[in-house]
Amino acid sequence: MSKYGAFAFGLVNTIPPDKIVSSSDGVHSMERQNRTRSLEFFSFDQQYLNRLVEGDPGTECHFVEYFSFLLRAKLQVRLRSAQDAEDLTQEVFLRVLQSLRKGRGVQHPGKLGAFVNAVCNNVVFEHIRGKGRTRQWDDNTPEPRDNSIRVERELMSQEIRQQVRTVLEELPAKDRGLLRAIFLEEQDKDTVCHDYGVQREYLRVLLHRARRRMRQLLVGPKITNDIAARTSWSAHQ
């Protein structure tokens, strides 16, 4: 087990979804059966914060899972290294939980996200400063191999993978080529746009449409049914 114990990704994923607290305990979600969905719709309250401070395993698990993606997104954008992002994500969790348990950090439960972000900023700053210092002494050390694809595969659920495959299959060959070039081959985006004869705006819109389609695949039928039910309910008032 890593030095971060239960906060490591692998162990988190072994906690069954029903161990995540119920809505009466303060967690508000549309789909309790599906953790991916439940994490999409969430607000923090004092009860949640109390459980986190007390070390409730289900709440800790939810907290780690909820912020893992956000931290990993931020850290990957900031550091461009999946391995560093993973290590620092664990460090952020450790510091946040330690602070909360010492009674420091969050005055209002709604500000939990801002607090996690602030701790992450400190961790990134320290990491970059530390790395700069190390590099002064050892500039010839080769960069470690980035095993992001292996890690990403482990982290992604089968359901999400299938959704991405569906989205990719629905795209025209040109758009698939664009995604391949920017995500898989990590080519320079201006060069990619030039080669494919598109503007940078096209890339943003392509991602936006793909994102909307993924959302539709994830919650579409449920939302559609909810709206239909609400509409029909209102119509009878």
Partner 1 sequence: MKHEDCVKSLMAEKYILGELSEGECGQFEQHFFECLECAGAVRTLLQLQDGTKAALSSERAYARSRQ
Residue closer to partner 1, measured from CB, 57 or 180? 180
| 27 binding partner 1? (CB under 8 A) | no
Residue closer to partner 1, measured from CB, 40 or 87? 40
Radius of gyration of the chain (CA): 21
| 109 binding partner 1? (CB under 8 A) | no
Distances (CA, A) of 30 to 156, 167, 226: 21, 24, 10
Q: Which of 2, 55, 69, 223 binds partner 1 (CB under 8 A)?
A: 69
| 125 binding partner 1? (CB under 8 A) | no
d(CA 186, CA 192): 10
* H helix runs in the chain, sequence order: 9-12, 35-38, 46-54, 57-79, 82-101, 112-137, 148-155, 158-170, 173-179, 189-196, 200-235
d(CA 11, CA 124): 24
| 79 binding partner 1? (CB under 8 A) | no
Binding site for partner 1 (CB under 8 A): 39-43, 69-70, 72-74, 76-78, 110-111, 113-114, 116-117, 121, 148-149, 152-153, 155-156, 160-161, 163-165, 167-168, 176, 179-180, 182-184, 189, 200, 203-205, 207-208, 210-211, 214-215, 218
